[in-house]
Amino acid sequence: MNPTENQGQVVIYQTSDGMTSLEVHLERDTVWLNQAQMVELFQRNQSVISRHVRNVFKEGELEEKGNMQKMHIPNSDKPVTYFNLDVVISIGYRVKSPRGTQFRIWATRTLKDHLIHGYTLNERRLREKGLNEARESIKLLAQTLERHSLIDEQGKGVLNIITRYARSWTILQRFDENLLELPAKRHIVKRVIAYETAKPNIELLKDRLIQKGEASSLFGQEQNLRLKGILGSIEQTFDGQELYPSVEEKAANLIYFIIKDHPFVDGNKRIGSFLFTLFLRENGCLEDINGNTKIDENTLVALALLIAESEPSQKDLMIKLIMNLLDEQG
């Protein structure tokens, strides 16, 4: 590799017996030692260390690229070759040095602390800087892909989720920290979807799809009144209070339960999406204040796929994501 002036961070390593102290370079998520330092660490002469270094690369155990680099050190006119932790560990095994094991343990712990500290600093900088740059980058990427027809219709649905709700990238961070918030603005439920209303609407959807050759007789066949149970759970109360009091909460749980609990022999994603939009329309929440559909067909397909592929442990995350998609302020 070309010589580099960037030596990253320098930390001091001292052997357990206190006899050896080394200035160790931390860079590119690993540690770096030169041959002279390995001579001192392993207490072997220069020729032994040089031979083992050559054999590590000659025998194909490691590749030179990425595992060695040249650095400029103080009081030296020429760059010095440094080797990363993988090489140091390999040499330690070859010379059977207990010091190699000690160094590996120290280096692993040091790197972990270094990465955690670096992540914390980067996270703080991102929070300070905000998400504007990320949003613009995502928007540019989406526009480029769409203009050049590089994605299919389902892909456009996924991009729509990403570009329209770029702020939802913070969901991942807030979810990890258990700080994800639900949208502040929610709508009062005006009309519910009763089981007696849902069934005939599903039959109409089935007839339409069969006519188009997009469904079979198995479509919409309910299993053990599971749909009735799901609709009942959406309206359940506890201590006199509704568990899902808003349109957004009921809609999100409705599509999630239908897709994940498979109440039908066939057509769960399509029926879940259908009842989801029907419920939103009945409550005047399908369109935003400008008359645009909040979740268009492509986005709805992508959302159904995301729900289907999600893990059960991600239920709360999916519900909050759906509600954020329905948020007029999103």
* DSSP secondary structure code for residue 17 in this structure: T
pLDDT tens digit sequence for 262-306: 999 999 999 999 999 999 999 999 887 777 788 878 778 878 888
pLDDT, position 185: 76
| Max Cα distance, the chain (Å) | 87
pLDDT tens digit sequence for 175-219: 455 555 666 778 899 999 899 999 999 999 999 999 999 999 999
- 283, 247 contact by CB (below 8 A): yes
Q: CA 53 to CA 64: how far, in whole Å?
A: 10
**Residue 235 — φ and ψ, nearest 5°?**
-100, 5
Comparing 303 with 324, the larger pLDDT belongs to 303
* DSSP secondary structure code for residue 244 in this structure: S
Lowest mean pLDDT among 118-132, 226-240, 293-307: 118-132
pLDDT at 5 exceeding the cut of 50: no
Exposure of 146 by Cβ count < 10 A (0-12 exposed, 13-18 middle, 19+ buried)?
middle
Residue extents of the structural domains in the chain = 9-126, 132-174, 195-326
Whose structure tokens read 């948020």?
327
pLDDT at 116 exceeding the cut of 60: no
Q: Please give the C-alpha separations between residue 144 and each of 32, 161, 301, 302, in angstroms, as whole numbers.
A: 41, 16, 22, 20
pLDDT tens digit sequence for 89-101: 888 888 887 787 7
Q: CA 30 to CA 115: how far, in whole Å?
A: 10
Helix locations, 130-246, DSSP H: 132-147, 153-164, 169-176, 195-211, 226-234
Q: CA 289 to CA 273: how far, in whole Å?
A: 22
| SS3 assignment for 65-77 | ECCEEEECCCCCC
- 226, 261 contact by CB (below 8 A): yes
Q: Which CATH architecture is the domain 195-326 placed in?
A: Up-down Bundle (1.20)
pLDDT, position 130: 47
Q: Would you state the structure tokens that stand for residue 17, as one six-digit string?
A: 């017996």
Q: Which residues of 54-72 are buried (b: 16+ CB within 10 A; e: fewer)?
A: eebbeeeebeeeebbbebe
| SS3 assignment for 54-105 | HHHHHCCCCCCECCEEEECCCCCCCCEEEEEHHHHHHHHHHHCCHHHHHHHH
Residues ≥6 apart with Cβ < 8 Å to 89: 100, 104
pLDDT at 57 exceeding the cut of 50: yes
